[in-house]
Amino acid sequence: MKYLRNDIILISTSSSLSERIKEVLKHRNLDFPVFEATMDTAYEIATKSIRLGTKVIVCRGGTASYLRDKVDVPVVDIRHGFIDIHMSMEKALKVSPRVGVIGYSNLCEAASDYKKIMNSNFPIAEVSNDTDIERKLVEFIELGIEVVIGGLQLSEAAKKYNICQIMGEADPAAINQSLNEALHDLKIENERKEKFETINSILNCTSEGIVGIEKNGRIMHINDIAKKMLKYTNQDYIKEIIPTSLLFDTLKTGVPHFNELTNVGDNSVVICSVPIAVEGNTIGVVVTIQEENKIQTLDREIRKKHLSTGHIAKKTFKDIVGNSKKINEVVDRAVKYSKTDSTILILGETGVGKEVFAQSIHNHSVRKNQPFVAINCAALPENILESELFGYVKGAFTGARNEGKAGIFELAHMGTVFLDEIGEISTNVQVKLLRVLQEKEVSRIGDDKIFPIDVRVLAASNKNLIEEIRRGNFREDLYYRLCVLELEIPPLRERKDDISDLLNFFISNNKKRKIEISQDAIALLCNYEWPGNVRQLSNIVERLLVNYDGGAINKDQVAELLKNIDYKKEHFQYVDVNSPSKTEEKLISLIEKIIIINDERQKDGKQSKYVKIENNQPKIDSVVIDEAVNKTKYEHWEIEIIKDALRESMGKREQAAELLGISTTTLWRKMKKLNIRL
């Protein structure tokens, strides 16, 4: 190991000791500085050297004890031994046989050992400070002592009283032993400092503030992040900067506290306190601190990184083509709505561009830099839709990902959720969706944890939801939760002035081919009713591009294309939504039988609690079979109805359930109960 010159300093208490120390250092090829001083002077030298980088001090006797109480670095004592005292005693006896020893504990212990070994008889006086030295010397003089052995502190008093003093000798072996101990302490100190700096660097690299606290609440360590958060200015105790009882509760009880929100000055911070325990006893606490706004920022960044590129809104109000009065009114209203954070229900026929408006509203809102997550509620079965909306944890159901999955509400945190075809979701999912909208929190399937969310909800439907409420297919409370603001997109047939602009837009957007279209062909297209709205118009333009052979597309070509569409449309079986299917006829037949039974009971003076007569017409309050109906006969009817529905749907359970007006799960349960097989 390479040593710096001032890593170790040696402070000698006598000139003879200084000479011996220098001889040992030269012999060992060490270049550490040697100072000659005692007590206060030695302390001044030590503090100055420590500021310059000294890590270990080598000293002797009382001065070593004195420094050990005042400095924060190791102090190694050059201990007196038998040889030291023997050499000093030989010199003293040459002056006079009346010899005494005055000094600190180290010297006196060595003198006592020498006295026992040599069977000598001389007085020994142990002192604890320089004032005692002079007092003991006076006592020795009164006893007739003519020579005293001691250190540098004794020499001043000896001169004053004109008595001979022999400086305590230094054994080279003792000096070498002290140097070895000092070098070992230096090695330990360097390793400790390396570990401390490593830990300190680690603590300063974290985004959290970290404070170490002693049992009495004194701060023993604080990293740079915590200093900045807490505006630390060398306060001694934690209560001076974090006035919360949580930390003292952990100090007192050893019970940790996690994620506690508190205020420190103007900052709102989240604090965790964990006890430092040794053999079951709490000796301190480690406190971690995070700023609330930074946690929220980090949460948003993590969510962004988990999002795919599809979770962004690409369309803006500039992408809405048309200058008709109707479309301009709707756009103006949408721009106004985008500045609020209220839920919007977007209504309109298929193909009018409801999602374009939803994306445009998001991109014009304060949430534009946050996620836009869209889902088509009609495209997924109920159980899959539920997992997509709310997410799930590991093992929530068969086929679930091992790592679980976040739902769209979690993914869209701080952004916008667009629920397209909202009228298609089952009442079961409607209930859960309503709770998410009301409570602003979501729980994954199979989990007991609740996540707070901050999302704006945009919903769209091509159905008349009021009519769906009347039919019992849509919850009224969910409707009013979604329809805080309503935006109705007009169909293309009501804004025919925009057809020409839309045609030009779709044609110009095609980079592969450019086509020409005659004015009479445009006029024909403008007069068409467009049941599929803008989407249908886009498809027609694409067909024209595919079939284009050069020259201007004329009226006859467009008429032929529209004729083919209408011709194909006529060959589809038309089903009047107001006329019942075979399955519905059987359900009506079942209800009629129940009414007949109730009529018979009325003749006997028994009023049914299931059927009321209003305006001479029976009205079913709920489909519940009266006790008078034979259970076996009812099950027979139910089996026939379910079988009819399965035959009509070609054995597809989802379609059969839709015909019966029940969920797929309910259908499966009834088939199992009634032993119905496909």
Write the pLDDT tens digit of every residue in 162-197: 999 887 777 788 889 889 999 999 888 888 888 777
Out of 216-220, 299-303, 599-603, 654-658, least confident range:
599-603
**Residue 597 pLDDT > 70:** no
Assign 107 a pLDDT band (cuts: 50, 70, 90). confident
319 burial class (0-12, 13-18, 19+ CB within 10 angstroms)? middle
Query: Given this model, what pLDDT does residue 297 score?
Result: 65
N- to C-terminal Cα separation, the chain: 86
**Residue 556 pLDDT > 90:** no
Beta bridge partners of 486: 345
- How many helical (H) and strand (E) elements, i.e. helices and strands, does the chain have? 26, 26
Query: Given this model, what pLDDT does residue 615 score?
Result: 45
Query: Given this model, what pLDDT does residue 399 score?
Result: 52
Question: Structure tokens of 213?
Answer: 């606290």
Q: Is 1.10.8.60 the CATH classification of the domain at 492-570?
A: yes
Write the pLDDT tens digit of every residue in 406-464: 788 888 888 999 999 999 888 888 988 898 888 888 888 877 778 888 899 999 999 88
Average pLDDT, the chain: 80
Task: Decide which of 247 and 371 is more confident.
Answer: 371
What average pLDDT does this structure show over 113-130?
Answer: 87
Query: Given this model, what pLDDT does residue 62 score?
Result: 78
The CATH label, of 3.30.470.10, 3.30.460.10, 3.40.50.2300, 1.20.120.1200, for the domain at 1-78+171-197 is: 3.40.50.2300
Write the pLDDT tens digit of every residue in 50-73: 988 899 999 887 788 888 888 989
Write the pLDDT tens digit of every residue in 569-589: 443 333 333 444 555 555 555
Query: Given this model, what pLDDT does residue 616 score?
Result: 43
Q: Pick from 78, 261, 76, 35: which is nearest to 168 by CA?
A: 78
Distance CA 512, CA 515 (A): 10
What average pLDDT does this structure show over 608-626?
Answer: 41
**Residue 17 pLDDT > 50:** yes
Assign 620 a pLDDT band (cuts: 50, 70, 90). very low
Assign 402 a pLDDT band (cuts: 50, 70, 90). low
CATH code at 317-488:
3.40.50.300
Kindly report the pTM of this predicted structure.
Answer: 0.47
CATH code at 80-169:
3.40.50.10660
Query: Given this model, what pLDDT does residue 456 score?
Result: 93
Assign 618 a pLDDT band (cuts: 50, 70, 90). very low
Query: Given this model, what pLDDT does residue 395 score?
Result: 59
Out of 345-359, 407-421, 664-678, least confident range:
664-678
Distant-in-sequence, close-in-space partners of 19: CB < 8 Å, separation ≥ 6? none
Write the pLDDT tens digit of every residue in 242-269: 877 777 788 888 888 887 777 777 777 8
Query: Given this model, what pLDDT does residue 608 score?
Result: 39
**Range list of β-strands (E), 219-324:** 219-222, 257-264, 267-278, 281-291
Query: Given this model, what pLDDT does residue 401 score?
Result: 59
> Are 250 and 257 contacting, i.e. CB atoms less than 8 angstroms apart?
yes
What is the CATH topology of the domain spanning 206-296? Answer: Beta-Lactamase (3.30.450)
Q: Where are the domains of the chain?
A: 1-78+171-197, 80-169, 206-296, 317-488, 492-570, 582-673
Assign 626 a pLDDT band (cuts: 50, 70, 90). very low
User: Do 80-169 and 1-78+171-197 fall under one CATH topology?
Assistant: yes
Assign 305 a pLDDT band (cuts: 50, 70, 90). low
**Residue 288 pLDDT > 60:** yes
Distant-in-sequence, close-in-space partners of 101: CB < 8 Å, separation ≥ 6? 85, 107, 108, 111, 122, 123, 124, 125, 148, 149, 150
**Residue 336 pLDDT > 90:** yes
The enclosing H or E element of 345 equals strand 344-347
**Residue 286 pLDDT > 50:** yes
> Are 17 and 34 contacting, i.e. CB atoms less than 8 angstroms apart?
no
